[in-house]
Amino acid sequence: MKTITKTEELAKFCEECASQPYVTVDTEFLRERTYYSQLCLIQMAYPGEGDENAVIVDPLANGIDLAPMYELFKNTDVVKVFHAARQDLEIFCIEGGVIPEPFFDTQIAAMVCGFGEQVGYEKLVRQIVKASVDKSSRFTDWSRRPLSDKQKTYALADVTHLRVIYEYLDKQLTKTDRTSWVTEEEAILTDPATYRIEPSNAWKRLKTRTTSGRFLAVVRELAKFREITAQARNIPRNRVMKDDALMELASTRPKTYEDLNRSRLLLREARKGATADGILAAVKAGEACPQDDLPKAPPVRVKKNGTESLGDLLRVLLKSKAERYQVAPKLIATANDLDAIANSDDNEVKALSGWRKGVFGDDALRLRNGEIALSATPRGVKIIEL
């Protein structure tokens, strides 16, 4: 198996890829000790069999420049194929400022083709390639060198089997005329904004039962400080302060170092120096926030009378549609989508637009509006016009 450690070797391989219809790509990375993922390995392959036309790229090799690969990612004549690509794309977007185009995610495609929800790579290898994947190297430290042959074999399998999987799923999508469904689902992954973390919005990721605007203002400032600090030092957020410590500080609102030292949950190293100063400044900023700028908690959806039963009917309809179209139910509509349809006349729901509208959304609205009913038959659920 070929391991690329020099820029000129990478350029040569990418030049070969440029004449191919597609290239499969995967990465190995670490994120336990850093804010940003540390790219440790890149696997790539173009059409062929076994290890043929497949390489491992070592991004940690001294002096290597990944520019040829990023140029390949910009080549719109070559489809870049990944499985469960979100973290891979985040790395390439942040490190190289590039998102591969055109792009194909086999996990999304498999959900559209009836392989279930969040289907794993090993399952597709078993069912489509009729092979197995050695999982023993899954939790290895990919930053350590040298890599063993066993590690390389494991890593390379992530792109060699992917060729067969891609070709199979691509044919299935063409046969069922669902390629546009996958493209629609992939849009969020190819949007650079997906990977742009704005510190001032970091508080929205946190779960809190308190709806007080003042409390949320302190949470917002603390979360913003934590995000900026974690990014600047390239450490995980919880190394600055954990979520439960942040919530505790938002409640107690410390004003002095002595107050910080009374915290039950704050890390010891966060009670002094720049981190302590930042925490106290964030609390002060939250308390001083003008009334008009106080954040508002997301509205709590109150279920209307009778909508719980309607929600149950919508779930039956969803399951019936998923079985009919052989598509993962959660890809068509989430539990929140169903509750929103049952509880509101607001049709700004994902399940009511795009390809989902014809598959499920139209009949969901008709069911909600009393225009159709559902009947159980030996062959499944039947829609009855009213």
pLDDT along the chain (386 residues), means of 10: 94 98 97 94 95 95 98 98 97 96 97 92 95 81 92 94 98 96 95 93 91 95 98 96 97 96 94 96 97 84 70 95 94 93 80 94 94 90 90
Structural domain of 209: 199-293
The Cα–Cα gap between 193 and 93 comes to 10
CATH code: domain of residue 316: 1.10.150.80
Q: Does residue 238 sit within a domain?
A: yes
CATH code: domain of residue 176: 3.30.420.10
- Closest Cα partner for 98 from 75, 124, 125, 116? 75
Q: Does residue 298 sit within a domain?
A: no
pTM of the complete model: 0.89
Which of 149, 170, 195 is a domain's end point?
Answer: 195
Shared domain check, 113 and 14: yes
Residue 17 and residue 81 in contact, taking contact as beta carbons nearer than 8 Å: no
Shared domain check, 222 and 184: no
The Cα–Cα gap between 243 and 54 comes to 43
Which of 195, 228, 257 is a domain's end point?
Answer: 195
3-state secondary structure of 341: helix
Residues counted in the chain: 386
Q: Which two three-digit tokens encode residue 91?
A: 């790395």
The 8-class DSSP code of residue 234 comes to T
Q: Does residue 299 sit within a domain?
A: no
pLDDT of amino acid 140: 85
The Cα–Cα gap between 39 and 93 comes to 12
The 8-class DSSP code of residue 345 comes to S
**If you search the block for the tokens 């925490």, which residue do you land on?**
279
The Cα–Cα gap between 271 and 245 comes to 12
The Cα–Cα gap between 181 and 216 comes to 38
Shared domain check, 207 and 191: no
pLDDT of amino acid 379: 85
Which of 195, 210, 229 is a domain's end point?
Answer: 195
The sign of the CA dihedral 145, 28, 22, 76 is negative
Q: Which two three-digit tokens encode residue 301?
A: 């959806």
pLDDT of amino acid 304: 61
The Cα–Cα gap between 304 and 320 comes to 25
Phi, psi at residue 264, to the nearest 5°?
-85, -25
Shared domain check, 171 and 91: yes
Shared domain check, 286 and 339: no
Shared domain check, 289 and 155: no
Shared domain check, 312 and 241: no
Q: For the sheet with 79-82, list strands across it.
A: 2-4, 54-57, 38-45, 22-30, 79-82, 103-105
